[in-house]
Amino acid sequence: MRAVERTKAFIRETFPAGVFVYRRLREARRALHERVAGAGLVFSDIYRKNLWADPESVSGRGSTLARTEAIRRALPGLLAGVGARSLLDAPCGDFNWMRHVELGGVEYTGADVVPELIARNREAHGGPGRTFIVADVTRDRLPKVDVILCRDCFIHLSFRDINAALANFKRSGSRFLLATTHAGVAENEDIRTGGWRSVNLQSPPFNLPQPRQLLVEDAGLGKCLGLWSLEELEARRAGVASVLGRAWPG
Whether 185 is covered by a domain: the verdict is: yes
Whether 34 is covered by a domain: the verdict is: no
Write down the pLDDT at residue 2.
Answer: 63
Whether 104 is covered by a domain: the verdict is: yes
Instruction: Answer for the pair 228, 213: CB distance below 8 angstroms, yes or no.
Output: no
Between these two residues, 170 and 58, which has the higher pLDDT value? 170
Write down the pLDDT at residue 194.
Answer: 86
Between these two residues, 13 and 210, which has the higher pLDDT value? 210
pTM, two decimal places: 0.78
**Taking 50 as the threshold, does the pLDDT of residue 96 lie above it?**
yes
Beta partners for residue 110, in sequence order:
89, 132
**DSSP conformational letter for 155:** G
User: CA-to-CA distance for 103 and 123, rounded, in angstroms?
Assistant: 20
The band of 240, judged by pLDDT with boundaries at 50, 70 and 90, is low
Whether 23 is covered by a domain: the verdict is: no
Whether 49 is covered by a domain: the verdict is: no
Which CA distances in Å does 173 have to 38, 176, 231, 247?
23, 9, 8, 19
pLDDT digits over 117-170, tens only? Answer: 999 999 999 999 999 999 999 999 999 999 999 999 999 999 999 999 999 999
Question: Across the chain, which distance is largest between two alpha carbons, in Å?
Answer: 70
> What is the pLDDT averaged over residues 215-237?
93
- Quote the domain boundaries for residue 190: 61-244
Whether 233 is covered by a domain: the verdict is: yes
Between these two residues, 67 and 1, which has the higher pLDDT value? 67
Whether 29 is covered by a domain: the verdict is: no
Instruction: Answer for the pair 76, 101: CB distance below 8 angstroms, yes or no.
Output: yes
Write down the pLDDT at residue 236.
Answer: 83
Whether 19 is covered by a domain: the verdict is: no
Domains of the chain: total: 1
